[in-house]
Structure 1
Amino acid sequence: MEIKIDDLTGPEVAQLIMEHLQGMKLNSPPESIHALNLEQLRQPNITFWSAWNGKDLLGCGALKELDAKHGEIKSMRTSSAHLRTGVAKRLLQHIIDVAKERGYARLSLETGSMDAFAPARKLYTSFGFDYCEPFSDYIEDPNSVFMTKEL
């Protein structure tokens, strides 16, 4: 698996982000969707990675800098054809490693509270993320859970 910084211009990545957003719409009410579209991911404070096996897109993930010591995981998604093959674990470890290299003291994320998001919560817990209060601009929401990890 090759994980590389992606400029979000390829059709495969556009399709995966669209799949990600559609999944959010199926499982979350509109006011509780915090997933970013392609344009929102192209911000200077966001680094976006795609994971590939040759020409096959396996998944993606992003790291948003909230401040010099705090990052947020965004847009973690495994392609439907590659679920439960270790893609998310490799991407998450990559993002954690980059956050440490950048000198972040904390890495946080928001995910859904519904059953559809249970695999994601299990993954984050297995990497040492703990549940926390809303961070950054988030507010309490019964459809969201917030997690954080001290680095």
Structure 2
Amino acid sequence: MDIKLDDLTGSEIAALIGEHLQGMALHSPPESVHALNLEGLRKPEISFWSAWEQGELVGCGALKQLDGQHGEIKSMRTASAHVRKGIARRMLAHIMEEAKRRGYKRLSLETGSMEAFVPAKKLYESFGFQYCQPFADYKEDPNSVFMTKEL
């Protein structure tokens, strides 16, 4: 698998982000969807990577700088045809390594509290993320869970 920094201009990535947003809207009420669209991901504080296998887009993930020591995982998504193949695990490891390289001391994330998000929560738990209070600009929300890990 080849993970590369992505400028978010390709049609494949636009389709995957569209799928990601649809999935979030399907499982979460609008006020609890914190997924970013393409424009939201094109901010200077966000680095975005796409994962490819034999020329096919298989997943993506992003890292948002909250401050000089704290990053947030955003837009983790595996393409539907490649779920349960270890793509998310490899993307998460890549993002964590980048966060360490940048000197971040903490990495946090927000995900849904519903049944559809159990696989994501289990993945993050397996990497040592622990549940925490809302961070950055997030507020308490019964549809969200917050996780963090000291690096």
**Partner AA of 1:80 in structure 2:** S
What residue in structure 1 maps to residue 25 of structure 2?
Answer: 25
Alignment-derived partner of residue 116 in structure 2: 116
Q: Deviations over 1:55-94 (max 9, x none)?
A: 1001000000000000000000000000000000000000
Equivalent positions of 1:50-69 (< 5 A) are 50-69=50-69
Determine the C-alpha separation between the residues in 1 that align with 2:80 and 2:137: 30
Distance in 1, Cα, partners of 2:24 & 2:112: 9
Q: Once superposed, which parts of structure 1, at least 4 consecutive aligned residues long, lie more than 6 Å away? A: none
Task: Output aligned runs, 1:45-84, within 5 Å.
Answer: 45-84=45-84
Aligned identity (percent) is: 73
Q: Superposed, which structure 2 residues align to 1:1-151 within 5 Å?
A: 1-151=1-151
Tell me the amino acid that sits aligned with residue 146 of structure 1: F
Could you give the per-residue CA deviations for residues 28-56 of structure 1, whole angstroms, max 9, x where no partner exists?
Answer: 00000000000000000000000001210
* One-letter identity of the residue aligned with 2:111: T
CA distance in 1, matches of 2:7, 2:38: 10
- TM-superposed CA distance for 1:139, in Å, is 0.3
| 1:75-134 CA distance string (max 9 Å, x none) | 000000000000000000000000000000000000000000000000000000000000
Query: For this pair of structures, how many residues does the alignment match?
Result: 151
Q: TM-score by structure 2 length?
A: 1.00
Residues of 2 paired with 1:79 and 1:73: CA distance? Answer: 18
CA distance in structure 2 between the partners assigned to 1:32 and 1:53 by the alignment: 32
Gap regions ≥5 residues in structure 2: none
SS in 2 for 1:135: coil
